[in-house]
């Protein structure tokens, strides 16, 4: 019987052999958390279609709104480096399997 617990166990066995996969996965996870944070902030000021936009979300709109509303700008500056680091780390991890 296939279960989610078996999938997680297999993932952690692979990550035990090659931690780059774990670091890449965590970086992509943090990137998605930062994305949700920025979208929720934009939703709170009235952009009700923010979750439907998908990849069309303009992150510079968050930067402009952060200046107006006093929000931290750090999520905007962390988004792309986290994403690119995750892709690179996953690539390194998969190539070393």
Spatial CA neighbour of 56 closest among 35, 30, 71 = 35
Q: What is the pLDDT of residue 86?
A: 96
Q: What is the pLDDT of residue 81?
A: 95
How do residues 85-96 score in pLDDT, each as one tens digit?
A: 999 999 999 998
Read off the pTM. 0.82
pLDDT in tens, 38-54: 999 999 999 888 888 87
Q: How many domains does the chain have?
A: 1
What tokens does 2 get?
Answer: 């296939």
Three-state secondary structure of the chain: CCCHHHHHHHHHHHHHHCHHHHHHHHHHHHHHHHHHHHHHHHHHCCCCCCCCCHHHCCHHHHHHHHHHHCCCCHHHHHHHHHHHHHHHHHHHHHHCC
Residue range 27-37, pLDDT digits in tens: 999 999 999 99
**Domain that includes residue 59, residue range:** 4-95
pLDDT at 1: 57
């Amino acid at each position: 019987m296939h279960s989610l617990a078996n999938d997680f166990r297999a993932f952690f066995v692979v990550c035990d052999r090659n931690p780059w996969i774990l670091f890449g996965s965590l970086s992509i996870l943090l990137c998605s958390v930062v994305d949700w944070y920025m979208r929720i902030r934009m939703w709170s000021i009235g952009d009700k279609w923010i979750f439907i936009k998908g990849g069309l979300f303009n992150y510079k709109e968050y930067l402009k709104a952060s200046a107006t509303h006093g929000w931290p700008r750090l999520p905007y500056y962390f988004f792309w480096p986290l994403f690119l680091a995750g892709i690179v780390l996953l690539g390194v991890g998969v190539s070393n399997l």
